[in-house]
Amino acid sequence: MASNVVFSYALCAQMIFLTFLVFAITTYAGSHPSNHASSHYKRTTTYNTSLIQNITRQLNTILLNQDKNFRPLNADPRSPLQVEVDISVRSMGPISEQDMEFSLDCYFRQKWTDRRLAFSPIGSRQDLPLASKMLKDIWVPDTYIRNGRRSYLHTLTVPNVLFRVRSDGQVHVSQRLTIKTRCKMFFKKFPMDSQACPIEIGSLGHFTRDIVYVWKDVDLDSKMGNMLSQYQLLDVVKTQYNQTDPRDSNSSASVLKVYFKLQRQQGFYILQIYTPCNLIVVMSWVSFWINKEASPARVALGIMTVLSMSTLGFGLRTDLPKVSHSTALDIYIISCFGFVFAALVEYAVINYAHIVYIRKKVHDLRGLESNRAMERMGMFAASLMGATRRETLNEEDLVLASSEKGHWYHRFLCSKPEHKTSVFYRMAVKAAKAKRKLKMNDPARVVNKIDTFSKIVFPSVFVLFNLGYWLAFLYLIPDEIDRLLADF
């Protein structure tokens, strides 16, 4: 029993000793790394510390050697400083016709040389990437957008600015901007129009004797063409010139200008405006095939097409600026409205003509009774003058009685010259002409002729109008911006 107790105590003591030994070895290994790792860490730390100290000394030297209140000078102090501008457009839009402005998202880059910022290369590094907050400690050109409205710098999550200085003193600043500018638009060919929206860049307070701006490039995102819903980007036109400053007529300022030429896509307007207008005009022609007696149907169809044309066409002006001239779309809508209104007026003309001819027929019928009496008297006169054949006179024969090809009336009534001057002869001819005129002036025939004429003339004129309209505005009438860009 005593031996078992002693054995248990000995086993516990061994376990405690082993646990302490493992803990001691682990603690020693963790607090004392290998000599190789320790030496590598020390070398890296020493190099980084030396590099940081070297860069810090360079920056301190740079900031001490220059005054941000004065622009840098070139090798020739009398020559202006050249600022190179580069724009990389990421997206464009929206474009507002009502406000006449457009916006774009771009990287706006400027590059100039300030020899006061030159430094000795640090190892293999020829440039230094610096924090954007250091821009306030050096001189930067006072570049601004001359025709801008609400431009701003992106600041999420930090100010989107790239700032680098090369060892020869060249400064490169890139900023991500959203620029909204004025854009003078021309709407005479709307919606077949093209627009040229400019961006003007210049210095706020320096003249050409101090700063000259030059273009490097204007890059466009290859996918940007699909980002514009109503426009297609056709071309980019760059120019640079000197403009007289209004504050000093003896000085001029350097200006950079880039035009973005945009062509409007007509798909939306063809589907939403032109096609419905054509269908409404064609629908108004259905009244030509409706019986003239169906007044409610023809009048209702005409009024419905006129109201539909008014609602569809003239409700579109809310999306456009209030310009004083008419646009191509206005001309088309007004013309279609004219065709629809003319179809409605055509039935009014038919109805009026029908009433007029009915009244005239009634008047002619009243006079026909007396003319028939004259006709009978003429026939009686013919019998008295010895006619051997007694046939019923008709109006055709009586009219032909005065011609050389007359039948027995010519042979009998006109056989002698004195017969042609007889009162009875003239009365018979007058009666025959009255009958023929009454037959020719049938109201139904006149109305049918007007409808038949309209069935041919209205579609023909509308087709010719469409051919002339599309040929003129697509090919013959030049864009107004072509004259604007021709100067550049």
Domain annotation for the chain: domains and CATH numbers: 52-264 (2.70.170.10), 269-359+445-481 (1.20.58.390)
Residue 480: per-residue pLDDT: 83
Which tokens sit at 154? 């992106």
Is residue 151 packed enough to be buried (19+ CB in 10 Å), middle (13-18) or exposed (0-12)? middle
Residue 248: per-residue pLDDT: 78
Residue 237: per-residue pLDDT: 92
In the 8-state DSSP scheme, what is residue 478? P
Of the CA atoms within 13 Å of residue 300, those in its CB half-sphere come to 5
Residue 98: per-residue pLDDT: 86
Q: Match 């190179």 to its residue by tokens.
A: 84
Residue 22 host element (H or E) = helix 2-31
Across the strands, what pairs with 92? 104
Residue 153: per-residue pLDDT: 94
Question: Can you say whether residue 100 is alpha, beta or left, with left for phi > 0 and alpha for psi between -120 and 50 degrees?
Answer: left
Residue 193: per-residue pLDDT: 92
Residue 11: per-residue pLDDT: 47
Instruction: State which residues of the chain have pLDDT below 50.
Output: 1-7, 11, 17-18, 21-22, 25, 28-29, 32-37, 40-42, 44, 47, 380, 384-413, 415-416, 418-420
Of the CA atoms within 13 Å of residue 303, those in its CB half-sphere come to 6
Residue 291: per-residue pLDDT: 83
pTM over 0.85: no
Residue 215: per-residue pLDDT: 96
